[in-house]
Amino acid sequence: MVAYMNKEALKKTLETGIAHYYSTSRKKLWLKGESSGHTQEVKEVLTDCDEDAVLLKVKQNGGACHEGYYSCFFREIETDSGKLKLVKQKIFEPEQIYGEK
């Protein structure tokens, strides 16, 4: 998955070993899995050459994607048509975790 992390989220992640992010939509610190229980145990923290991006290597407990998939990257863009093709299977039904929309 891809998510935004501010200084507070990075500090909390390093302190706890559990991934925290900053929710730009909710404008608050977000513990990954706080409502679903699908947490990310941090195994390694890397940064890029410019030190402006962070990569977390995690043990994903449950699905990372709020749409019910293990990963948020469950669709492929077909190179010939540009159409989206589903390439992964759901591992949970979002309504059972988050309730009805």
Domain encompassing residue 38: 7-98
With a cut of 70, list the residues of the chain below it in pLDDT: 101
The predicted structure's pLDDT at residue 100: 76
Residue 19 lies in a domain: yes
Tokens 């962070």 correspond to 54
The predicted structure's pLDDT at residue 101: 65
- Which DSSP category does 38 fall into? -
The predicted structure's pLDDT at residue 99: 86
**pTM listed for this prediction:** 0.86
The predicted structure's pLDDT at residue 41: 98
How many domains, in total, are found in the chain? 1
Residue 2 lies in a domain: no
**Using CB atoms within 10 A of its CB, is residue 77 exposed (0-12), middle (13-18) or buried (19+)?**
exposed
